[in-house]
Amino acid sequence: MSRNPMHDLLGRWRIAFDGHETGVMASLFTTDAVFQGFGPTVISGREAIRGYYEAVPDNRSADVTIRHVYKIGEEVAGGFADVTFNDLAGWEVAVHLSLVLQLVDGDWLIRQYHVSQVMTDH
């Protein structure tokens, strides 16, 4: 594991997202994680997060660029990334992703996940 928990975790998340491995994606979150995706509702917990990802079309992929990483002590980290979701039909949306990570039993997991769509016209 590198010294950059965001790099490691988002690398595993991207591979799971691109492969539509919803169980793997859910396992990257704490059991009580808070998640704000594209929908209007904040959800919580691995099963709700798995359900969210199961509703994502399986032909979508994600390009991730980490922008900033921070650590608070030894067990909390976080940061920001730019993510572009796309599919082979040409659908594409860019978001800013912010994460709070927590070290749980030696593994970094996502404690809080929030996306906001990049708007270029305001």
The CA distance from 28 to 82, in Å, is: 19
Domain containing residue 85: CATH number: 3.10.450.50
User: Looking at the domain assignment, is residue 22 inside a domain?
Assistant: yes
Predicted model pTM: 0.92
User: Which residue range is the domain that position 83 belongs to?
Assistant: 5-117
User: Looking at the domain assignment, is residue 86 inside a domain?
Assistant: yes
User: Looking at the domain assignment, is residue 122 inside a domain?
Assistant: no
Tokens found for residue 76? 């909390």
Please count the structural domains in the chain.
1
Question: DSSP assignment of 33-97, as one string?
Answer: EEEE-SSSS-EESHHHHHHHHHTS-TTEEEEEEEEEEEEETTTEEEEEEEEEEEETTS-EEEEEE
Ordered per-residue pLDDT tens for the chain, 122 residues: 457 899 999 999 999 999 999 999 999 999 999 999 988 899 999 999 999 999 999 999 999 999 999 999 999 999 999 999 999 999 999 999 999 999 999 999 999 999 998 877 65
